[in-house]
């Protein structure tokens, strides 16, 4: 168990006041990831307009770090192009929160992975049939 004092103020802020929580009606892409070891489960949904993430929402079942990383990712990529959003990696997520305890770095991987899976889902749906 990680002590609360091991978290930055920014992590605590996003844990207690997460941004963009919820679901998007008729999302363009959905990404689901989970970690069986820690039990964290994340779902990210995106709306895409003109090649940009017009809206993004998440639902996370997990620890404070999992919720905080999900929240910060949504803020990092809203309005960005799909290419810019695909470039977001776990180091950038952890850095945006002012760092994470070593035992919680996997949460930043999960958040980035959920985002990438949502974009991949969107791209697979957007391809013409044939």
Catalytic residue numbers, as ranges: 38, 107
Mean pLDDT check: name the lowest of 71-75, 107-111, 116-120. 107-111
DSSP code of residue 51 = T
Distance CA 70, CA 128 (A): 31
Distance CA 82, CA 116 (A): 9
Mean pLDDT check: name the lowest of 59-68, 108-117, 119-128. 119-128
Which residues neighbour 80 within 8 Å (Cβ) at sequence distance 6 or greater?
A: 52, 53
Contact between residue 44 and residue 97 where contact means Cβ atoms under 8 Å apart? no
Whole-structure pTM value: 0.91
Class in CATH terms, 4-125 = alpha beta
Q: Where are the domains of the chain?
A: 4-125
**21-35 average pLDDT score:** 96
Place 107 in a pLDDT band, splitting at 50, 70 and 90. confident
Look up residue 21 and give its two tokens: 């929580």
Place 4 in a pLDDT band, splitting at 50, 70 and 90. low
């Amino acid at each position: 168990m990680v002590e609360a004092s091991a978290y930055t103020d920014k992590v605590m802020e996003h844990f207690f006041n997460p941004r963009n929580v919820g679901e998007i009606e008729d999302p363009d892409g959905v990404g689901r990831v989970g970690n069986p070891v820690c039990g964290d489960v994340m779902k990210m949904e995106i709306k895409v307009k003109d090649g940009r993430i017009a809206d993004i929402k998440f639902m996370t079942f997990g620890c404070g770090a999992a919720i905080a990383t999900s929240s910060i990712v949504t803020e990092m990529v809203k309005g960005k192009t799909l290419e810019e959003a695909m470039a977001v990696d776990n180091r950038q997520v952890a850095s945006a929160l002012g760092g994470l305890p070593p035992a919680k770095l996997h949460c930043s991987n999960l958040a980035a992975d959920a985002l990438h899976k949502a974009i991949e889902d969107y791209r697979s749906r957007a391809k013409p049939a044939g």
